[in-house]
Amino acid sequence: MSYENSVMFTDRAYTIAEACRFCWMCRHCCPVGLRTGREINTPRAKGLIISLLKRGTAYDRDIARAMYECTLCGACSNDCVTGYEPPVYIREARTQALVDELVPPEVMAVIKHAAETGNIYGEEKPCYVGTSSEADVLVYIGDTAACRTPDLIRSFFSVLSKLDVPFRTLSDEPTSGADLYDLIGDVDEVRTACKKLAERIRKTGVRTVVCLNPNDAAMLARRYEDFSIPLPAKVRTATSFVADLLKESSVSVTSQPLRVTYHDNVRLSRELGETDPARDILAALGVELHEMFLHGKLAHDCGSAVFHAYAPDLCALTAAGRWEEAARTPVRTLVTASPEDYLVLSAQTPEGYEVKDLFAIVDEALA
Amino acid sequence: MQSFMFNMVLSELEDACGRDNVSISTADKLSYGVDYFWIGRKWADAGRPLPTADFIVRPGSPEAVSKVLKIANYYKIPVQTWGGGSGSQGAALPMAGGILLDTKRMNKLIAVDEMSRTITAETGMIFQTLEWYAGERGYSIQHIPSCLTCGTVGGALAHRGIGIMSTKYGKIDDQCLSLEVVLPNGDIINTLPVPKHAAGPDLMQMFIGSEGTLGVITKATFKLFELPETRKFYSFLFKTFGDGILAGRDILQKMKPSILRLYDEAETVSIIKKIVGVEKHGSFMNLALEGNAEIVAIEEKMLREIIARYDAFDTGEEYGEKWYKNRVTFFYPGHIMDIPQMFGTMDTVATYDRVEPIYYAMKHAVEDNFEGVRFIAHCSHWYEWGTMIYDRFIMDHPPEDPDEAVRLHNEIWNAGVRAALENGGVINDHHGVGLKLSRLMKEQYGPAMQVFEALKKGLDPNGIMNPYKLGL
């Protein structure tokens, strides 16, 4: 760690910020920058500010607020030819804001919810039971699906049952730590949450964990390794798991006469490099797919659940931006493969359009 | 400004743009304190205070821009317009404080007219977004600069930008058909609906390149080109830079490559070697022919005849394509020059008879007079009558003291640009003038400068629009 002028960032964060402060190349990807038009909402400007903190500028509430005006979607990292990752310094700036008590109140309220209840909604998380307590497959449901989009859970469970896959769930499912990690970065509280979930998974003895939420999948598959938290099971995304099942299964599928566009979840596409399985599923179901001009790893983020929780107005802008792109295709149905995207895009659905969950379509096709 | 008065002005600006779109926060102010200009970077790197505006305003419409300019005129507050802030000449920096007007909320697509092959948008749109809109319909504007992803439509117009496809498809001032402009007094005007006419001097061209000194460009219409049926890449190695220039001239008499780039020996063995992988010595040329496949086939035959006349070595399609694929790699951190290096692009343009004399004059002016400075160049935008020269100087170990470094920086610039002017070149080809070259405008234009000064005085009598820039 470096320590200068009361502001603490890792050397890696400073190195990236120093590289980004005079580089404009990725601003066209930033969903928040594009929708707000504010210069501070560009990776360059945020990097510049971090570099200036090192040079004596005081970290204040305005700067802290700017650091939260970012969905951490990784479009900037994906664009960078050199391989720099602006989310690294943005997350650390959030940690610093917490340390310096500069976190905006609306963000602090969400952090408190997470601290008190384990999820950003500040609610008791409902329990969902699998088909077999001895199953070798564990479905990790995640906070957003459990608290906000229960229909998606029912569809996914139904799909697994129809494909004869026994599965179990965790009672009192602990959080993955993904939302808290986005809110306050790599701090003890986050690692403690991660260790708790890892231990619960270890005790089950399962060999496969299927994450319904790509954000959780990215957390388990990538961050736990970064944190040196061993996970004794293979992490699968729900999409890749179901895509493989459909390829291998002899269960009959009813072709779905749908014309849709598909929104790539940014953690799924950019962090996990997964863009094909959802498309393979749609193709297997006979669904006619019309791609948005920017899709796959280039898809603009619609906003995340945590962003939606603390910055609903900004999230409405990013979601509306994605809807505008969807509306330029000839279809009126937008398919998502993430509870968070479903939540965020449903809240901004334009008249005459609909959001459909990928697994709900699979469920119908398997009926 | 007194706090009381400050708040009065703030309230008026909020009334004009909406409260959420006016800011006096530190974070916002600092983010506008550095553009691509080397001196701004050096200042930031040294921890020196950045130039900051008193008010950041983000109007969402030309009407809101009009209100802001009326307020600014009444109180005689400077207004600096900011698009993407990726300009290299310091033109967008808020050197006079006052108001910084960020155009990026004005980012709507207004129309795609497939009948006329035109596209119209607000000028706060990032140019890449506009190009994506065109691409969705199977067209391109073919303005593809290295700052495509970071500059706005208005920014490209404000400094007379150019893209890598310019030799075939033109500069921004060729591609633009009409403009909407908010004048300093708040009046909203439109140029004529078409760019070619005999209805007097060209009103539109008075605003293209005006760098925010004569008003704010808020809407623009551009040509659309159908995407080419084929695009073929070539690359060659000439024995000398001079041979390459003559070959380029001959090519332009017969055809219009979309890409045509010729590198001097110094750039061939440095940047081209690093990014494209060409190992041989000489002067590297890469080009692309595109359009109808049958026409391209004929052009290729003629191209090879010209190349053979100059005994150039064919380095193959691969390097031409590799350059194209890496065309923006050059500009990412780790690939582009950066602090602590001192560097600058002294691009100029001239008729063919002056290109080599200018190149050598600038090279000598820079390398012979300033120890530790090297000079590289390429020609990347070609015309029937001449070409531009993208001259760059690089100093790996400049003075650490920012005051000393800035003095040296400006001395190098003065020497290089004056060498260009003395040999028939111009002050700049496609980056603009801004703050960086403002002092040299009168040397370039002489008594002709009074035309610009009269225009400025007539349109902006209070001198509020982008002070210290463009020599106005």
Q: Distance between CA atoms of B105 and A250, rounded to whole angstroms? A: 53
Nearest to A74 by CA among A227, A301, A235: A301
Judgement on whether residues B396 and B377 belong to the same structural domain of the protein: yes
Please tell me the distance in Å from A268's CA to the nearest CA on chain B: 23
CA nearest neighbour of A223 among A264, A195, A242, A202: A195
> Does residue A131 form part of some domain?
no
Could you tell me the two tokens for A81? 């030819």
Interface residue B239 vs chain A (CB under 8 A): no
In chain B, residues with a C-beta closer than 8 Å to the C-beta of A299 are: none
Q: Tokens for B170?
A: 């033109």
CA distance A334 to chain B (A): 18
State the Cα–Cα distance between residues A45 and A262, nearest whole angstrom. 31
Measured between CA atoms, the residue of chain A closest to residue B87 is: A24
B292-302 mean pLDDT:
98
| Whether residues B215 and B237 fall in one domain | no
A33 & A80 share domain = yes
Q: CATH number for the domain including B446?
A: 3.30.300.330
Please judge whether B126 and A81 are an interchain contact, meaning their C-beta atoms are less than 8 angstroms apart.
Answer: no
Q: Is the pLDDT score of A5 beyond 60? A: no
- Phi, psi values for residue B386, rounded to 5°: 175, -170
> Is the CB of B135 inside 8 Å of chain A's CB atoms?
yes
In whole angstroms, what is the distance from residue A195 CA to residue A202 CA? 10
Q: Residue B58: its chain A contacts at CB < 8 A?
A: 37-38
User: From A22, which residue of chain B is nearest by alpha-carbon distance?
Assistant: B36
Question: Is B84 an interface residue toward A (CB < 8 Å)?
Answer: yes
Query: Residues B363, B452: one domain?
Result: yes
Q: Does B28 touch chain A (CB under 8 A)?
A: yes
Neighbour tally for B275: CB within 10 Å? 15
Q: Name the residue facing A27 among B58, B126, B328 (closest C-beta).
A: B126
If asked whether residues A226 and A292 sit together in one domain, one would say: no
**Domains in chain A, number:** 3
Are the beta carbons of B277 and B318 closer than 8 angstroms? no
Same domain, A282 and A262: yes
Helix (H) or strand (E) holding B120: strand B118-122
Average pLDDT, chain A: 96
Point out the domain boundary residue: A214, A238, A262.
Answer: A238
pLDDT grade for B2, boundaries at 50, 70 and 90: low
Q: Does B26 sit within 8 Å of A60, measured CB to CB?
A: yes
A40: contact with B, CB 8 A cutoff = yes
Residues A285 and A356 in one domain: yes
Which of A52, A60, A82 has the CB atom closest to B333's CB atom?
A82
Main-chain dihedrals φ then ψ at residue B72, nearest 5 degrees: -65, -40
Domain that holds residue A77: 2-102
Q: What is d(CA A99, CA A85) in angstroms, rounded to the nearest whole number? A: 23
- Tens digits of per-residue pLDDT, B12-56? 999 999 999 999 999 999 999 999 999 999 999 999 999 999 999
| Residue A181 shares a structural domain with residue A280 | no
Nearest CA in chain A to B82: A39
In this prediction, residues A292-310 reach a mean pLDDT of 97
Residues in chain B with CB shorter than 8 Å from the CB of A52 are 30, 44, 47
User: β-strands A288-289, A259-262: how paired?
Assistant: parallel
Q: Among A134-138, B283-287, B331-335, which is the least confidently predicted range?
A: B331-335
Indicate which CATH number applies to the domain containing A8. Answer: 1.10.1060.10
* Confidence check: pLDDT of A1 > 50: no
The enclosing domain of B34 has a CATH number of 3.30.43.10
pLDDT tops 60 at residue B250: yes
B310 lies in the same domain as B348:
no
Q: Do A27 and B36 touch (CB under 8 A)?
A: no
> Looking at chain B, which residue has its C-alpha nearest residue A46?
B31
- Over residues A362-366, the mean pLDDT reads 97
Q: How many residues does chain A have?
A: 367
- CA distances (Å), origin B142, targets A237, B150, B162, B220: 40, 16, 10, 15
DSSP lists the bridge partners of residue B121 as B109, B220
Residues B67-100: pLDDT tens digits?
Answer: 999 999 999 999 999 999 999 999 999 999 999 9
| B279 located within any domain | yes
User: Is A8 a domain residue?
Assistant: yes
pLDDT computed for residue A6 by the predictor: 55
Contact B126 A37 (CB under 8 A): no
> Number of structural domains, chain B?
4
Judged by CB atoms closer than 8 Å, whether chains meet at B30 and A48 is answered as: yes
Nearest to B27 among A24, A40, A81 (CB): A40
> How far is CA A220 from each of CA A139, A166, A168, A209, B303, rounded to the nearest angstrom?
13, 22, 18, 9, 57
- pLDDT for the residue numbered B278: 77
Touching check for A259 and chain B: CB below 8 Å? no
Arithmetic mean of pLDDT over chain B = 96
For chain B, the distance separating the N- and C-terminal CA atoms, rounded to the nearest angstrom, is 25
The pLDDT value recorded for residue B179 is 98
- What are the phi and psi torsion angles at B120 (to 5°)? -125, 135
Neighboring chain B residues of A328 at a CB cutoff of 8 Å = 136
Q: Flag if A82 and B334 touch (Cβ within 8 Å).
A: yes
The answer to whether A298 faces chain B, any CB pair under 8 Å, is no
Nearest CA in chain B to A33: B104
Chain A contact for B384 (CB, 8 A cutoff) = no
| Predicted TM-score (pTM) above 0.80 | yes
Whether pLDDT at A190 is above 70: yes
Return the pLDDT at B1: 53
- Helix (H) and strand (E) counts for chain A? 20, 9
Query: Which of B186, B210, B226 is at the close of a domain?
Result: B226
* Boundaries of domain holding B156: 114-226
Same domain, B41 and B67: yes
Q: Looking at residue B281, what is its pLDDT?
A: 86
CA distance B453 to B451: 5
Q: Are residues B16 and B74 in the same domain?
A: yes
ω into residue B340 within 30 of 0, thus cis?
Answer: yes
Select from B148, B333, B339 the Cβ nearest to the Cβ of A84.
B333
- What lies within 8 Å, CB to CB, of A199 at 6+ separation is none
Tell which of B180, B208, B226 closes a domain. Answer: B226
pLDDT, one tens digit per residue, over B335-361 is: 899 999 999 999 999 999 999 999 999
Interface contact flag, B126 A45, Cβ < 8 Å = no
Q: How far apart are CA A122 and CA A109, in angstroms?
A: 9
Say if B334 is an interface residue toward chain A (CB within 8 Å). yes
Q: Is B58 on the interface with A (CB under 8 A)?
A: yes
* Mean pLDDT confidence for B297-303: 98
User: Does the pLDDT of residue A255 top 70, yes or no?
Assistant: yes
Same domain? A248 vs A362: yes
**Which residue, among B52, B332, B336, would best test binding to A if mutated, counting the most A CBs under 10 Å from its CB?**
B332
- A8 falls in which pLDDT band (50, 70, 90)? confident
Query: Residue B44: which of A34, A42, A48 has the nearest Cβ?
Result: A48
Q: Are B130 and B108 in contact (CB under 8 A)?
A: no
Interface mutation vs chain B, best among A7, A18, A28, most B CBs within 10 Å: A28
Q: Domain of A227: which CATH number? A: 3.40.50
Q: Please indicate whether, in this complex, the C-beta atoms of B107 and A80 are within 8 angstroms of each other.
A: no
Which pLDDT belongs to residue B406? Answer: 97
The whole-number pLDDT of residue A3 equals 37
Instruction: Judge whether B147 and B84 are in contact, CB under 8 Å.
Output: yes
Quick one: tokens of A142?
Answer: 């995640």
Let me know: does B196 contact B456? Beta carbons within 8 Å: no
Tell me the nearest-neighbour CA distance from B422 into chain A, angstroms: 33
CA angle A320, A324, A330 (to 5 degrees): 140
Per mean pLDDT, which range of A228-237, A250-259, B9-18, B269-278 is the poorest? B269-278
* B293 interfaces chain A, CB cutoff of 8 Å: no
- Interval A193-221 mean pLDDT: 97
- Whether residue A7 is predicted with pLDDT greater than 80 in this model: the reply is no
Q: What is the mean pLDDT of residues A107-118?
A: 95
Share of chain B above pLDDT 90, in %: 94
CB-based contact A52 B31, cutoff 8 Å:
no
Cα dist. B102→A298, B55, B175, B186, B204 in Å? Answer: 26, 11, 24, 16, 22
Q: What is the mean pLDDT of residues B415-441?
A: 98
Q: Is A105 within 8 Å of chain B by CB? A: no
Q: Look-up: residue for tokens 């080109």? A: B225
Which has the minimum average pLDDT: A194-198, B127-131, B193-197, B269-273?
Answer: B269-273
Let me know whether A277 and A344 are in one domain: yes
Flag if A34 and B126 touch (Cβ within 8 Å).
yes
A21 in contact with B, Cβ within 8 Å: yes
Final residue of a structural domain among B102, B123, B148: B102
Encode pLDDT of B125-160 as tens digits: 999 999 999 999 999 999 999 999 999 999 999 999
- CB atoms < 10 A from the CB of A162, how many? 16
Regarding whether B321 and B251 lie in a shared domain, the answer is yes
- Element holding A238 (H helix, E strand): helix A238-248
Position A130 in a domain: no
A269 plus A212 within the same structural domain: no
The answer as to whether A113 is a domain residue is: no
